[in-house]
Structure 1
Amino acid sequence: MNAAGRQADPVEDYVTALTAALHGPARVKARMIEEIRGGLADTVTAHTRAGTADPRAAHRAIKEFGTVDEIAPGCQRELTIAQARHTARAVALTTPFLVACWYLAWTTGQDQPWALPRVAQLLAVHLAGVAGVAALLAAAALAVTGSLARRLPVPRRLPLTVAWAGTTASVAMAVATLALATACVLAANWPLLAPAGALAAVSHAVVAASARACRRCARLRTA
């Protein structure tokens, strides 16, 4: 009965296949799918009112929209840019807080008698520089894919560049988490280092997941 129901609704078959073919931010993808479903429904209604019987009206509407293989690359292009913006935004928002925490931990540990915490803090500060460069690239990507996109075309390799920038930042955050955790064990100012390490861990999880999704989208075929 379910199979018969699916066969009786070509539009839903079309939407299901298109949904499976696309990858990107969940909200953006859901909004895109709903717009396509609504457009198809309106077209089917127009054909029905013109005298075309179902399911011919549905098939005509789908033919006018184009097959899934025909429209998926263009839709995926839009979703890939949206995912790149999502990743760039995650890097741009999390990195400044981490840089501030790492700097504060380093400046308050200048008189630290233990050698290992001092080395760990210095390592975290250097990693902050790496993440800072990634943040600048992320900010540039947000600008290019935002207001400037109305005037200039978005470079095709920008999403992959953002993905690897996010990956680099997430790796720096992971190593910094270990460095700050090590410093926290031996340092006298551990109440300050512990929140910085926790923030680095959370930021790593957020940025790494977004960067992974961005790499996947960037490798898909787009228009």
Structure 2
Amino acid sequence: MDPDSELGDPVEGYVAALAGALRGPARVKARLIEEVRDGLAETVAAYAHEGVPRERAARQAVREFGSPDELVPSCQRELTIAQARHTARAVVLTAPFLIACWYLVWSTDSGGEWMVPRTAQLLAVHLAGVAGVGALLAAAALAATGTLARRLPTPHRLPLAVAWAGTTASVAMAIATLALAIASLLATNWPLVALAGSLAAASHAAMAASARMCRQCARLPITG
């Protein structure tokens, strides 16, 4: 990383290099970057107040902060935990939709007026179970990275576990969407099945991107 490459301004070059190396939730990342920029600006202002020329003050401030490579691991730790919480929250909020969709289809079928293919029903049970287990793991991750994190260190592999829980739940929702789409073509009361499939598709869309980013964050080196 070359912190002096951004239009000849050491501060902006430093910030750009740091931003390019970090992965995580956009809002949290933007806050971290802004905090670093503010810290550098305050240091530059302090040197300038002492009569140091602006360019030299900027270079001194950057040297005091250390290289972006040195700062990345500690910043990435905060971003990785934030992303793990974001993904866990997505699992907790969306998995119940999948379970509710399948329950709706199953309970409606019990009336005997129409029949969802039995294969789709059996698949429903397994996928709902996967989503339920994922939701429980995600809830535990939220607890471990929330209040408990103040008393106990966050397990090093927890973000990766959350990432794969989210990925598994996301895949389950994608399969559920396909199964319900096929079932809607065969069911008498197809609007209900189509609605369930739409909810499963929305849940998949909400979780897939978050799980992907969580996997990326979990593979990056962190400290702390």
TM-score by length of 1: 0.93
Contact 2:90 2:206 survives alignment (8 Å): yes
Same amino acid, percent of matched pairs: 69
Larger displacement relative to structure 2 (122-131 or 155-164): 122-131
CA positional deviation for 1:67: 0.8
Inter-partner Cα distance in structure 1 for 2:189 and 2:138: 32
Q: Matched residue of 2:52: which SS? A: coil
Q: Matched residue of 1:51: which SS? A: coil
Show structure 2 runs of 5+ residues with no match: none
The AA in structure 2 aligned to 1:105 is V
The AA in structure 2 aligned to 1:150 is R
Larger displacement relative to structure 2 (36-45 or 50-59): 50-59
Inter-partner Cα distance in structure 1 for 2:107 and 2:83: 36
1:92 aligns with 2:92: yes
Change over 3 Å in CA distance of 1:72–1:5 after alignment to 2: closer
Show structure 1 runs of 5+ residues with no match: none
Contact 2:92 2:138 survives alignment (8 Å): yes
TM-score by length of 2: 0.93
Contact 1:109 1:118 survives alignment (8 Å): no
Match of 1:183 in 2: 183
Match of 2:129 in 1: 129
Number of residue equivalences: 219
Change over 3 Å in CA distance of 1:156–1:50 after alignment to 2: same
Match of 1:6 in 2: 7
Match of 1:140 in 2: 140
Q: Matched residue of 2:153: which SS? A: coil
CA positional deviation for 1:189: 2.1
CA positional deviation for 1:144: 0.8
Inter-partner Cα distance in structure 2 for 1:18 and 1:51: 28
Contact 2:22 2:76 survives alignment (8 Å): yes
Contact 2:6 2:13 survives alignment (8 Å): no
Contact 2:97 2:203 survives alignment (8 Å): no
Inter-partner Cα distance in structure 1 for 2:117 and 2:98: 18
Inter-partner Cα distance in structure 1 for 2:24 and 2:79: 5
Larger displacement relative to structure 2 (153-162 or 47-56): 47-56
Change over 3 Å in CA distance of 1:120–1:112 after alignment to 2: farther
CA positional deviation for 1:193: 1.2
The AA in structure 1 aligned to 2:219 is R
CA positional deviation for 1:112: 5.8
